[in-house]
Copies of this chain bind each other. A is one copy, B any other.
Amino acid sequence: MFFLKELPSSEMIASVTADVPDVDPEHVQTVLERLRSASVLLRDIEAFLRTHALSQTQFLALMMIAREPERNSLSAVEISKRLDVSKPVLSKTIGSLMDKGLLAPAKEQPVDQRQKQLSLTEKGQSVFTNVLPGYFALLGGAAM
């Protein structure tokens, strides 16, 4: 997250970037503004998801499984190819989703015994279905 409330003035950006070759101060200004909007939106999304007792990562993990075409389960390693978090974080995320009863081991386990196939429970399906419209409404309403 980018935590500045007030962005640096154009004058300050211009004076600082003057020392740095090949940097366009106006582009820097644009990038800073977008970082700020993205951070604000991400906070709003987190606050919204928290009202459903989900973190952003938990929600995205549910989405990866729910929206996988042709299948209703994924292994952790498959989720981690779609979700950009470290392995331990994914492991903990899956653990907390299982504790909440939103995720469970899939009925059909893979031959490779190192993997754990995971699918949404009924509760997981229904929570995801409830949250999704609000999530996209936030994305759609964002001024970026």
Contacts and interface: CB of A to CB of B under 8 A. Distances in A.
Interface string A87-101: 000000000000000
A75 interface: no
B60 A140 contact: no
A18 B33 CA distance: 30
A107 interface: no
Contact of A2 (B27, B30, B56): B56
Given A4-B83, A60-B4, A31 B41 contact: yes
A23 interface: yes
Interface of A: 1-6, 8, 12-13, 16-17, 19-20, 22-24, 27-28, 30-32, 34-35, 37-39, 41-42, 56-57, 60, 63, 67, 81-85, 132-133, 136-137, 139-142, 144
Contacts of A136: 13, 16-17, 20, 23, 28
Given A17-B140, A38-B39, 14 more contacts: A1-B56, A2-B56, A4-B83, A5-B82, A5-B83, A8-B63, A12-B67, A16-B132, A17-B136, A23-B136, A30-B144, A31-B142, A34-B37, A38-B38
